Amino acid sequence: MKNIKIGILLLCIMLVIGCNQKDGEKSSFTDIEVWDSVKVSTNHYDYSHFMYNYPESKFFDTALVRYFKYQEKLYDSIGPPMWDCFNRCISVMVTKNDSVLFEHHPILIENLNKSSLVYLMNENNNEMMPEQKLVKDKNGLERYVSDGFFYLQTDLKSNDKLRQSITEIKLAYKNYKNYLAQNWFKMEFDKLGFEKKELIDNIVTQRIELGKYYEIKIVDEELNNEDILNE
C-alpha cells in the first residue's frame, strides 16, 4: 500500500489597500458616516480605502471580508492582475499565533514603523531592500524616491494585529515624507508650505498589498508524513 502525504499549499491573492491621502489631511466625516455610503458598494477598492483610513473602526472586519469577496468576484471574471513585486516588496506577515514577522523575522509591533522606515530610506543602497527610483517632480527636478511597497499577509484570524500593522506602516510613510522634506528642503514636513507638501505627497505612493491565504490539499504518494508547505 502506497504511503500518502497531504501537504497544504498556501496561496495568496494580492490586493491593493494603499491610499494617497495627504498627511495632515483629515476627513471631516466619521467612520460611521463613511461606512453608510461604502457598505452598499460592490467595488472592493472602496473597502480598501475605508480600511486604510479607518483601521480602528468597528466596521474594519466587515470591510475586510467584503474586500476579499468582491475582489475575488472581479478576478473570477477578468483574471488576477500582474504582480510587480520582485525586490520591491517589504514583507510583513501577521501569523496565526498573533505575532508579526518583518522580512520573515519576528518583530514587536511597536518597532514595525522604524524597520519599515529603514527599508523605505535604504540609505546604503542595500540590494536586499527596495531600490530608489529616479522621478521628476512637478517643477521638472529629478529626485530619488523609494520604489518599494508593503506586502502584508494575513490569515483573517488576527485582525487586531492587522489593524496595528496598517497603522504602523502609515506612520512609516509619514516619517518617510518627513525624511524627504529634511533632505530636500532642510525642513520638517509639517513646517513646509502647501506647494512643497503637495510636491512630496504627489511623489510618494503609499501602497500596501494584502495577501489572503487559501488551503489546497496536495497528495504525494511517495511520503507518509503530513507537512505544511509554505509559499
Structure confidence at residue 27 (pLDDT): 60
Average pLDDT value for the chain: 81
| Residues 6+ positions from 82 with CB-CB distance below 8 Å | none
In the chain the beta strands, taken as DSSP E runs, fall at 5-16, 89-94, 100-102, 105-107, 132-136, 142-146, 149-154, 208-220, 227-229
Per-residue b or e along 139-172, where b marks 16 or more CB atoms closer than 10 Å to that residue's CB: eeeebebbbbbbbbbbbeebbebbbbbbbbbbeb
Structure confidence at residue 13 (pLDDT): 36
Q: Which of 13-27, 62-76, 162-176, 197-211 has the lowest mean pLDDT?
A: 13-27
Query: In angstroms, rounded to a whole number, what is the distance separating the alpha carbons of residues 72 and 218?
Result: 22
Structure confidence at residue 71 (pLDDT): 86
Structure confidence at residue 200 (pLDDT): 95
pLDDT tens-place string over residues 60-89? 999 999 988 998 898 888 877 666 666 788
Grid coordinates 495568496 are at which residue?
12
Domain ranges of the chain: 5-229
Segment 197-222 shows an average pLDDT of 72
Q: Which residue has the higher pLDDT, 83 or 39?
A: 39
Grid cell listed for 14: 494580492
